[in-house]
């Protein structure tokens, strides 16, 4: 197969335009083009009046050898790389002890799936409920029909933190082994649309994710794995620097000398337990800020002009960065086109926001987190000090929202003018349970407020209307990534605890669904190879 990159075609190109472009580029006769498949489709919208689709295609041709020779100096015509995944190990029939995976977020699920595919029959332990029951609890909380359930919410339960999300599936991690392709392929086999394999910035959307998560569970079980819900790991047993097993909240002890720790960034009680048991943990940078909501039409117009609404473009996204005079950087994070701001709390009396979308991305508002990078210099002294800061900010937000999980909010115009808001304008916030307008400058440290105040007008220069007075801010965003890193060695085991494999976002090794899934695969391989040693 021959891979051709940079095939640019107009947005409304005809069906046979790709084949014609291939023939033209390769200078071959139609009979020599046996077939082609689209490897990637993106768009270039830098010129709004002339948006183009950009394709990477894999071509099957009778002329492969001669073409690769003829175009050997052309970086846009190369042999199609082999991206298929091969298992690194196979479990023996007499497997002495089954590996444990703590957590069933994307990291734990992919670690579990890979271990199951290699025959290691993993035991997955999840503190929350199965995804359908979890959905009932979470949606009841959002609709004020039930209290926050600290074990079953937007963070905890089958599928992990990203289950009620936009399901964006892209990441910037280096991936020379094509693990990302393996993650996407498994998601398609579990019910995701095959388009996630070739669209440049794919997303799945909340309701589809629920079904996919169930399907991955069924596949792990069919391969001999076991998934236990409402099974919070409360203690880790370590002897002479080697893990021996875990104790669950029920008191049950499960022995294993290979334990994947994929607990996500919100497992604060678990981090404390690990720290108390002497597992090496250090503080790491993360970010804090607000969600901002604009009309999606404003973002679409700015990015796509007259082509807004085109079905191949979908709802527009954005990515913004501003380096401030006080040395801080402010950036947009987890942008959800046509989405909703959601209550992502997992601890009573503490409030935190996040964003999600359905596959259709057709809600009226665009939202993203506008956050300021902070480092351990801002919370010095203790490896878990970042968690203490998160908690203080989340408690403050809870109070400012009126103590009912309504989020504190403010209009952008008022925030910039340093006056409290008391009435909404044209933008209706989407956060449920509800929004209490007031003064968000009370919710974050002064340096963060100053940085966001400087960044919003700067963002307005990139997206005309970004600082529109009626845009709504809701607070607070504190869980952009883990405030700790549970350091591991090159063999993926903890720096000082053999047999413990810190993984995914909570351990500081991933920052989204795709990268967490990739990390799960890497760790599963390490576990398998170490068991076989």
Ligand X SMILES: Cc1cc2nc3c(=O)[nH]c(=O)nc-3n(C[C@H](O)[C@H](O)[C@H](O)COP(=O)(O)OP(=O)(O)OC[C@H]3O[C@@H](n4cnc5c(N)ncnc54)[C@H](O)[C@@H]3O)c2cc1C
Q: Does residue 341 contact residue 291 with C-beta atoms inside 8 Å?
A: yes
Closer to ligand X by CB, 33 or 113: give it: 113
Closer to ligand X by CB, 63 or 515: give it: 515
Q: How many helices (H) and strands (E) does the chain have?
A: 12, 23
Closer to ligand X by CB, 369 or 451: give it: 369
> Cis link prior to 476 (omega < 30° from 0)?
yes
- Which of 29, 26, 51, 30 lies closest to 41 in space, CA to CA? 51
Q: Please state the closest distance from residue 258 (CB atom) to ligand X, in A.
A: 16
Closer to ligand X by CB, 159 or 408: give it: 159
Q: Please state the closest distance from residue 420 (CB atom) to ligand X, in A.
A: 27
Give the binding site for ligand X (CB under 6 A): 102-108, 125-128, 154-157, 160-162, 164-168, 232-233, 262-264, 267, 270, 334, 342, 344, 354, 356, 504-506, 510-514, 516
Closer to ligand X by CB, 135 or 354: give it: 354
Interatomic CA distance for residues 360 and 205, integer angstroms = 8
Interatomic CA distance for residues 218 and 161, integer angstroms = 20
- Please report where in the chains the tokens 């569970």 appear, as a residue: 217
Instruction: Please name every residue paired with 370 in a beta bridge, in sequence order, or none if there are none.
Output: 290, 332
Residue 254 Cα distances to 100, 177, 383, 401, angstroms: 9, 34, 28, 42
The two tokens of residue 416 are 């910039």
Closer to ligand X by CB, 173 or 450: give it: 173
Instruction: Please name every residue paired with 333 in a beta bridge, in sequence order, or none if there are none.
Output: 369
The two tokens of residue 166 are 């936009």
Element (H, E) at 26: helix 17-26
Signed CA dihedral, 463, 468, 470, 475: sign only = positive
Complete DSSP assignment for 45-59: -SSGGG-EEEEEEEE
- Please report where in the chains the tokens 């337990």 appear, as a residue: 273
Closer to ligand X by CB, 105 or 499: give it: 105
Element (H, E) at 287: strand 286-295
- Please report where in the chains the tokens 């991936």 appear, as a residue: 175
DSSP assignment letter at 129: -
CA 173 to chain centroid: 12
Closer to ligand X by CB, 169 or 467: give it: 169
Closer to ligand X by CB, 286 or 415: give it: 286
Q: Please state the closest distance from residue 151 (CB atom) to ligand X, in A.
A: 8
Strand order in the sheet with 500-502: 226-228, 123-125, 100-102, 259-261, 500-502
């Amino acid at each position: 197969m021959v891979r051709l990159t940079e095939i640019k075609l107009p947005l409304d190109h005809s069906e046979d335009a790709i084949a014609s472009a291939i023939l033209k580029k390769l200078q071959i006769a139609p009979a020599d083009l046996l077939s082609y498949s689209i490897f990637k489709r993106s768009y270039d919208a830098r010129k709004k009046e002339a948006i183009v689709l950009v394709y990477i295609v894999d071509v099957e041709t009778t002329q492969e050898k001669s073409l690769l020779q003829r175009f050997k100096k052309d970086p846009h015509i190369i042999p199609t790389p082999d991206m298929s995944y091969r298992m690194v190990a196979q479990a023996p029939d007499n497997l002495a002890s089954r590996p444990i995976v703590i957590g069933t977020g994307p990291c734990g699920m992919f670690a579990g799936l890979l271990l199951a595919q290699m025959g290691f029959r993993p035991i997955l332990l999840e503190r929350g409920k199965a995804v359908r029951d979890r959905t009932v609890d979470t949606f009841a909380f959002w609709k004020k029909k039930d209290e926050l359930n600290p074990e079953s919410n937007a963070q905890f339960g089958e599928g992990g933190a990203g289950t009620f999300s936009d399901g964006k599936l892209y990441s910037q991690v280096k991936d020379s082994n094509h693990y990302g392709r393996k993650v996407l392929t498994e998601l398609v086999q579990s019910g995701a649309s095959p388009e996630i394999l070739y669209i440049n910035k794919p997303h799945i959307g909340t309701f589809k994710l629920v079904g996919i998560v169930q399907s991955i569970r069924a596949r792990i079980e069919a391969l001999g794995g076991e998934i236990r819900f409402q099974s919070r790991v409360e203690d880790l047993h370590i002897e002479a620097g080697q893990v021996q097993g875990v104790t669950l909240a029920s008191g049950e002890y499960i022995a294993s000398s290979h334990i994947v720790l994929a607990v996500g960034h919100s497992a604060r009680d678990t981090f404390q337990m690990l720290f108390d048991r002497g597992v090496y943990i250090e503080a790491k940078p993360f970010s804090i800020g607000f969600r901002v909501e604009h009309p999606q039409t404003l973002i679409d117009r700015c990015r796509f002009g007259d082509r807004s609404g085109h079905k191949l473009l979908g709802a527009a996204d954005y990515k913004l960065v501003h380096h401030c005079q006080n040395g801080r950087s402010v950036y947009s994070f987890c942008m959800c086109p046509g989405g909703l701001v959601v209550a992502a709390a997992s601890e009573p009396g503490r409030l935190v926001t996040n964003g999600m979308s359905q596959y259709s991305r057709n809600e009226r508002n665009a939202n993203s987190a506008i956050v300021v990078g902070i480092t351990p210099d801002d919370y010095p002294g203790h490896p878990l000090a970042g968690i203490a800061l998160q908690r203080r900010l989340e408690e403050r937000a809870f109070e400012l929202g009126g103590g009912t999980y309504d989020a504190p909010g403010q209009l952008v115009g008022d925030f910039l003018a340093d006056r409290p808001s008391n009435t909404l304008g044209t933008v209706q916030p989407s956060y449920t349970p509800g929004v209490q307008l007031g003064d968000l400058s009370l919710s974050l440290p002064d340096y963060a407020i100053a940085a966001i105040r400087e960044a919003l007008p700067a963002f307005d220069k990139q997206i005309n209307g970004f600082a529109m007075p009626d845009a709504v801010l809701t607070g607070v965003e504190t869980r952009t990534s883990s405030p700790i890193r549970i350091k591991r060695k090159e063999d993926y085991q903890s720096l000082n605890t053999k047999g413990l494999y810190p993984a995914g976002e909570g351990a500081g090794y991933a920052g989204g669904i795709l990268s967490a899934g990739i990390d799960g695969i890497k760790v599963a391989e390490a576990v398998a190879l170490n068991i076989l040693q």
